[in-house]
Structure 1
Amino acid sequence: MSYRYLVEQVCGYFGLVFWSLQLAPQAFKTYQRGTSTGVSVWTMLIWTFAGVFMGVYNIGLGIAIGLWVQPQIFTFISCICVFQEFHYQHRWSKLKTLCGFVVSCLFVGGVETGFIFAFKKAQQMNDQGGIRFFGIIPVIFVVGGFLPQYYEIFRERRVIVFGEQVDSLDLANYIAIACLDVGILALYYIFEWYQKKISVRSESEESQIDQVSTRSSALTEKVSSSDNHKHGAAFQEEMKTL
């Protein structure tokens, strides 16, 4: 159990560092270029809510603290990217952008809090469908969030991320994050398989112990019954003698 806890914590903090910060280079690059051209605002908006549902699911399950914090940072940076679009492309003032950003953060925080209570209620009622709903939705949102970005890429006929010249450090950053994301995903399925294998083995051992215990109890009852029968027969013989 302690080994599983350690693995969960390690993977959680790796996810906190790499997965939650994967949009940070994009937000910085947009700020540096002074334009969000080529970045789909719909992708960032969908990912904002993906982070909300992921936060609900992770907090509801009570898993590693790192996995509680991870969706919050991801949602926060997604919100930054959304309002960069309003600031640079729709010419919102800095004050208006900041106010909109703060209100949006409070809104998604309230939505997440409400959904956490809903998740806990589903757990109390043992509503497996409701619990799975909160686990499936973020996956759909994360994957679906790529679609508007792909549309933006095909519309522009190019990937406008790095500007006219590709900076090697930026490229290395994106590639590293992508590889580490894949690594975390692979570790998730590997350790899920490992934990299921341990669980099956544990259940098998418990079943064997129960069978042995049942046989032992049956044997004890049989011996006890046999002894009682013998004592009863002896008592009857003594009564006949008398």
Structure 2
Amino acid sequence: MLMLWACAGVPLGVYNVVEEYNIALRVQPQILTLLSLATWIQCYYYEKKWTVPRALAVVTPVACVLGGIQAALIVALRTARDRHLQWPLTLMAVLSATLLAAGVLRHYWDIYVHRTVRGISFLFVAIDAAGDVFSLASVVFQPTLDMLGIVIYGTELLLWVGVFACAAYYNLVPWAGKKLEAREAARPGLVSPATLCSADLPASSTV
């Protein structure tokens, strides 16, 4: 997920810069890539027990390559736009939306297999979804409304909302049901329906 998001920051940054979005939206993809790479390499540092020099030796060239690709694409797509070619920018929008969505969709596969939402910080999901909301608001208040920008940020937001809905169905509802059953069972003098049914059976009956 993190490497997909790091790569998504490249076409997203190209699109936002070439389309001359406001400064916040131009900077946001760069922060997305840097934070995703930083978190990605920490997985190797903590889980694979990599040393700091080894981790830096891997992540630094990756960051430089992604930054170089973005810079080259910005120059190339500005030239294409001056020549009234729109499809390269559309391709950047599609790539960024696809990569962002792919990072979230891996959680849907895990939910489908295990029938539960696990391994997700809902605080992180809420913060990231809120970022999509504010980015959408920023796109909407641009001088001209850009539908591709809305699609980019709206796609990820809808997928996160879906994760929350799955968590409510698979995690929250069963948890609330167990809590309710435990509270009912703890009531003094309360006899469960199963006990009443067994008491009504004749002594010679077998189940």
2:119 — aligned with what?
Answer: 160
Among candidates 3, 24, 28, match of residue 70 of structure 1:
28
One-letter amino acid of the structure 2 residue matched with residue 122 of structure 1: A
Q: Distance in 1 between matches of 2:28 and 2:43?
A: 23
- Give the direction of change, closer, same or farther, for the CA distance of 1:83–1:176 in structure 2 (3 Å limit): closer
What's the % identity of the aligned pairs?
26
Matched-pair contact (CA < 8 Å) for 2:12–2:29: yes
Q: State the shift of 1:114 in Å.
A: 1.2
Cα RMSD after superposing both structures: 2.6
Equivalences, count: 144
Name the TM-score, length of structure 2 as normaliser.
Answer: 0.59
One-letter amino acid of the structure 2 residue matched with residue 178 of structure 1: A
Matched-pair contact (CA < 8 Å) for 1:83–1:97: yes
Q: Distance in 2 between matches of 1:151 and 1:82?
A: 20
Q: Distance in 2 between matches of 1:118 and 1:129?
A: 13
Q: Distance in 2 between matches of 1:86 and 1:127?
A: 42
2:92 — aligned with what?
Answer: 134
One-letter amino acid of the structure 1 residue matched with residue 136 of structure 2: L
Give the 3-state SS of the residue equivalent to 1:145 in structure 2: helix
Matched-pair contact (CA < 8 Å) for 1:119–1:134: no
* Higher Rg: 1
Gaps of 5+ in 1: 1-42, 163-169, 197-242
Q: Distance in 2 between matches of 1:187 and 1:130?
A: 23
Gaps of 5+ in 2: 146-207
- Higher relative contact order, structure no. (Cα contacts within 8 Å, ≥ 6 residues apart): 1
Matched-pair contact (CA < 8 Å) for 2:14–2:92: yes
Name the TM-score, length of structure 1 as normaliser.
Answer: 0.52
One-letter amino acid of the structure 1 residue matched with residue 64 of structure 2: L
State yes or no: 1:182 paired with 2:141: no
Higher helix share: 1
Q: Distance in 1 between matches of 2:12 and 2:5?
A: 10
- Give the direction of change, closer, same or farther, for the CA distance of 1:155–1:100 in structure 2 (3 Å limit): farther
State yes or no: 1:101 paired with 2:52: no
Q: State the shift of 1:161 in Å.
A: 3.8
Q: Distance in 1 between matches of 2:110 and 2:43?
A: 14
Matched-pair contact (CA < 8 Å) for 1:79–1:105: yes
Among candidates 50, 55, 66, match of residue 13 of structure 2:
55
